[in-house]
Every structure is written in structure tokens, then in C-alpha cells.
């Protein structure tokens, strides 16, 4: 299995509080991604990174920010959590882009509940 | 039209049966295709990559139909452990943003 960890694995937080999720990889892959998964919506891309300090928005980026200061770490921050951000968050990595972009390896996920 | 569309199922089949389902894609220029499986409350895991007409890995066969723009996944001799949601992925040609299908749920019963 690819070396990807996420922390925390579970979190309950209150509306309006900031939350940071961490993704850590030991594969030295260039590309990293944050997805959320909700019933009826499947996996949706929040943000992605194509290198250290190089990030861009996905399809559901509102309310989220990211940072990547090292190859191995990709942080997702909810500046002020809302109940609509209750979800399962997956981090993924890939070694290539273009047609090889589909070979992604996922972390175990973080279950976030915003009350 | 969505970039990737899947029949959500569920497909409920007995052990030993063959089950097949499709994934349609919108970009006729797509060159690579991927199937993932996702167990309940777990992360998606890469099952199979398809770069040409198809691919086979044991009981799993993926076939590409470029004319009709769909890729199928066939599972032979189904096992209870094949129960999962199968996700189809078709990468964009010049972008980093990957689109996942919503998934097809397969349940294999004893």
C-alpha cells in the first residue's frame, strides 16, 4: 500500500471553528489532492497541488484553503466550519499527470462532523 | 452531459455469477480509463487501468468501446468479497482535475 496517512481520522467540531486536516505521504509523489465524499455526490475535488507551494481549486473549493510547504505534506483548512462541510475527506496522491492522472492512491480518510 | 456517468445499480448477484456494468464518458479523445473499488467506509483503491482496448486481471475484465464511448467492467465467478462500489475514472486531457463517476454498487449474496 502507498504510504499515505491522514490526521485526524475522526473529528467533531462546532460551527464557526477553524479546522485543519493533514495529509502526509512518504512516496515523494508530485501531485496531491483533497476530495470530499458525500452520499449522492460521489467524490468531488476540493483542491489539488502540482508541486510545493503550487495549488489550485477544484470543483467545490468555497470555504476551503490549502497549503503545501513540503512535498510530503498537504494541509486542508476549513476557515470557519459549517454543517454543510460535514463529510468524509480523502487525500490522494499521484506520480504523473495527463493520461496517467487516473492512477491515484488514497489515504484512509477523515470523518468530519460539524455540529 | 457529465464527463463520466455510471449505472448506480445496485447489482445484486449470487456467488459464482457473472456481473457486468458500464461507464460512459463524454470526451471522445480520452485515452486512458481506470476502475477503482471502494468498500463501505473505506478509501477507493485502484483496481484496473486501461490504456488500449481492454485489460484483464484474473476474474476481472475491462473492455473499451470507443465507438460508443463506454468502458465496461465484467466480474466472473463472483465472490462475496467482490461486494463493493466500483468507480470509473476518465482523466482529462490537459488538466489535473480528475472526475470520478458516482459508482456502481455490487452486492454478491451467498
Residues B95-104 pLDDT 10s: 777 778 889 9
Residue B44 to residue A31, Cβ atoms within 8 A? no
pLDDT in tens, B75-85: 999 999 999 99
Compute CA distances B65 → A3, A44, A98, B69, whole Å: 35, 26, 21, 6
Tell me what the mean pLDDT of segment A20-26 comes to: 98
User: Residue written as cell 449474496?
Assistant: B109
Q: Considering only residues 10 to 69 of chain A, which have any Cβ-Cβ distance to chain B shorter than 8 Å?
A: 31, 33, 40-43, 45, 48, 50, 56, 58-59
- What is the rounded distance in angstroms from the CA atom of residue A64 to the CA atom of residue A61? 5
Tell me what the mean pLDDT of segment A7-30 comes to: 97
Q: ∠B52-B57-B59 over CA atoms, to 5°?
A: 125
Tell me what the mean pLDDT of segment B14-34 comes to: 92
Which residue in B49, B89, B96 is closest to A50 by CB distance? B96
The candidate with the shortest Cα–Cα distance to B50, out of B66, B38, B67, B39, is B66
Task: Answer for the pair B70, B104: CB distance below 8 angstroms, yes or no.
Answer: no
Computed from CA positions of residues A101, A105, A107, A109, in that sequence, does the dihedral angle turn out positive or negative?
Answer: positive
Q: Give the per-residue pLDDT at B100.
A: 85
Tell me what the mean pLDDT of segment A74-99 comes to: 92
Residue B34 to residue A102, Cβ atoms within 8 A? yes
User: Residue written as cell 476557515?
Assistant: A79
Which residue in chain B is spatially nearest to A60 when comparing CA positions?
Answer: B97
Report the percent of chain B where pLDDT is more than 70.
Answer: 99
Task: Answer for the pair A87, A81: CB distance below 8 angstroms, yes or no.
Answer: no
- What is the rounded distance in angstroms from the CA atom of residue B4 to the CA atom of residue A103? 16
Residue B44 to residue A90, Cβ atoms within 8 A? yes
Grid cell of A41 as nine digits: 455526490
DSSP B18: -
Task: Give the number of other CB atoms < 10 A from CB of residue A46.
Answer: 23
Residue A103 to residue B42, Cβ atoms within 8 A? no
Q: Does B98 touch chain A (CB under 8 A)?
A: yes
Average pLDDT over chain A reads: 93
**In the predicted structure, residue A41 carries a pLDDT above the cut 90:** no
Tally A–B CB contacts below 8 A.
59
Half-sphere exposure of residue B107: CA atoms within 13 angstroms, side-chain side:
7
pLDDT-derived band of residue A101, with 50, 70 and 90 as boundaries? confident
pLDDT in tens, B28-49: 888 889 999 999 989 999 999 9
Which residue in A42, A97, A107 is closest to B96 by CB distance? A97
Q: Give the per-residue pLDDT at A114.
A: 97
Amino acid at each position: 500500500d502507498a504510504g499515505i496517512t491522514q490526521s485526524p481520522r475522526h473529528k467533531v467540531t462546532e460551527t464557526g471553528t477553524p479546522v485543519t486536516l493533514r495529509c502526509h505521504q512518504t512516496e515523494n509523489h508530485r501531485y496531491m489532492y483533497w476530495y470530499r465524499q458525500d452520499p449522492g455526490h460521489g467524490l468531488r475535488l476540493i483542491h489539488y497541488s502540482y508541486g510545493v507551494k503550487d495549488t489550485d481549486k477544484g470543483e467545490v473549493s468555497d470555504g476551503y484553503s490549502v497549503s503545501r510547504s513540503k512535498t510530503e505534506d498537504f494541509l486542508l483548512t476549513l476557515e470557519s466550519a459549517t454543517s454543510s462541510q460535514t463529510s468524509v475527506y480523502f487525500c490522494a496522491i499521484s506520480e504523473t499527470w495527463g493520461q496517467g492522472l487516473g492512477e491515484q492512491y488514497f489515504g484512509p480518510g477523515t470523518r468530519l462532523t460539524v455540529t | 452531459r457529465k464527463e463520466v456517468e455510471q449505472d448506480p445499480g445496485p447489482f445484486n448477484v449470487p456467488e459464482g455469477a457473472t456481473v457486468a456494468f458500464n461507464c460512459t464518458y463524454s470526451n471522445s479523445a480520452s485515452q486512458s480509463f481506470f476502475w477503482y473499488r471502494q468498500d463501505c467506509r473505506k478509501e477507493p483503491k485502484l483496481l484496473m487501468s486501461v490504456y488500449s482496448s481492454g485489460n484483464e486481471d484474473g476474474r476481472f475484465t475491462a473492455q473499451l468501446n470507443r465507438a460508443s464511448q463506454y468502458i465496461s467492467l465484467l466480474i466472473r465467478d463472483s465472490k462475496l468479497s467482490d461486494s463493493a462500489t466500483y468507480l470509473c475514472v476518465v482523466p482529462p486531457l490537459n488538466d489535473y482535475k480528475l472526475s470520478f463517476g458516482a459508482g456502481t454498487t455490487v452486492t454478491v449474496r451467498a
